[in-house]
Each structure stands twice: as C-alpha cells, then as structure tokens.
Amino acid sequence: MLTLDLRTYADKTYRLHDLQPKASVPLQERCWLVQSGTVEINLVDSEGMLCFVGLATAGMAILGLPSICYEIEALQPSRLLSFSPAEVEQSSHLLRLLWEGQQCRQYYSDLLLRATHYPTALEQLHEVLVVLAQLLGIRTPAGVRLPLRLTHARLSHYTGISRVTVTRLLKELLQQQRLSWQRDRHLTLPASCVPSPPILPCSIALAPKGQH
C-alpha cells in the first residue's frame, strides 16, 4: 500500500483545500487528491447546468482538464490536496498515487453509471443506494448505514429520476423492507444486499502534516 506523508511535500507548492459542506471549487488544470471527507463531482455544461459524474472519498483522485469544466462540492467537511502538472511530473511516487486514486474513483463512477441503466426506476434508485452504501456505508447491527443525509433532490441528481418520483420510490423501498430510516434520518440498507467493497489500489494512508 502506498502512503503519502504531507511532510514530504512541506517545502513544495502543493495547495491544501479545506471545504465545508456545500462549498464548491472548480477543478481547473490541476490534479486533486482527497485526504478526508467526501466530495461530489459535476461537469458544468455550456449552459451552466451541473451533470453528475461521481463521488470521491479519501485516497481518490480527480484530474482537472483544460478543455472540460469540472466542479467539486463537499458533502461533508473535506480536505483535498491539489498539484500542478509540473509538480506531478517531478514525483513518480505522486504520479502513481494519483493514477491509483483515479482508477479507484472511476471504478465507483462506472458502478453508478451502470445503476442508472437498470430496467426500472425503482431498481435504478435501489442500485444507486447500494453503490453508495458500498462506497460510503458503515456496517452496523441494523445494516449498512449511509453516513450522509441524502436529500431527495440529491438522489434525483444522481439517478436522473424526478424528485417527486424519488420520493414515491423511497416509500416503496421502505414498504418492501429494502431500506430503513434510522432515528437520525440516515438511510440504512440490509447488509445482505451490500457487497463488501473490493480491495482497490486507492487504500492509501494520508498522514496530515505534524502527525507521525
């Protein structure tokens, strides 16, 4: 497992970004590495509309491109590092970290994309929730709990299903006991329907500056 100790880069010009929930930042032509938290990635089209691309958590990388406008939004307090292309070229270790982090992020983006092609809207929504639970979920005696409060509007954004329909489908899934609401209003899915996350190369230990 590769590790990234920020002290290694203490004398370099990397940028550290602390984002609070709902804060957003354009990617620009930089390489981004998530140290902690969860961010949503959107493509901004020519009319300023946001097109959902995926999520990124600790160890995952996002590559900004000069020809495509991407934006990230924090879903919880998040810390990211960003590097210029020149900084990446100077470090084979960093290059490999970013490559592995990008591959890991793309794996879950592909799962989310596949989920939106299930034959019915109900199955599409359920499968998106399963992927989110696989990526973010915390296993508890009651099932796999999603640590983020996902609004109906956000689930609509992730699935392409209207918000009104998402509300109706969530009620159906509750009636079918395929998910439940906990007291804190977080969704929980039965553990039996959430595969264990695969071991991917982005299992990276990111040590903040000043810590051993």
Q: Could you tell me which residue, 166 or 87, shows the higher pLDDT?
A: 166
Task: Express each pLDDT in 52-71 by its tens digit.
Answer: 999 999 999 998 887 788 89
Question: What mean pLDDT comes out for the span 10-19?
Answer: 68
Q: Residue 181 forms beta bridges with which residues?
A: 187
pLDDT surpasses 50 at 131 = yes
Q: Distance between CA atoms of 127 and 132, rounded to whole angstroms?
A: 9
Q: Distance between CA atoms of 105 and 92, rounded to whole angstroms?
A: 20
Q: Distance between CA atoms of 78 and 24, rounded to whole angstroms?
A: 11
Unique residue bearing structure tokens 């960093």: 94
**Structure confidence at residue 75 (pLDDT):** 95
Question: Cβ–Cβ contacts within 10 Å for residue 211, how many?
Answer: 8
Tell me phi and psi for residue 46, to 5 degrees: -65, -20
Q: Distance between CA atoms of 171 and 89, rounded to whole angstroms?
A: 50
Question: What mean pLDDT comes out for the span 81-87?
Answer: 89
Domains along the chain?
3-105+201-207 (2.60.120.10), 115-193 (1.10.10.10)
Question: Cβ–Cβ contacts within 10 Å for residue 9, how many?
Answer: 17
The share of the chain scoring above pLDDT 90, in percent, equals 54
Q: Could you tell me which residue, 55 or 11, shows the higher pLDDT?
A: 55
Closest by CA to 161, choosing from 52, 20, 86, is: 52
Lowest mean pLDDT among 77-81, 84-88, 177-181: 84-88
Closest by CA to 98, choosing from 81, 74, 73, is: 81
User: CA dihedral defined by 73, 22, 211, 11, rounded to 10 degrees?
Assistant: 60
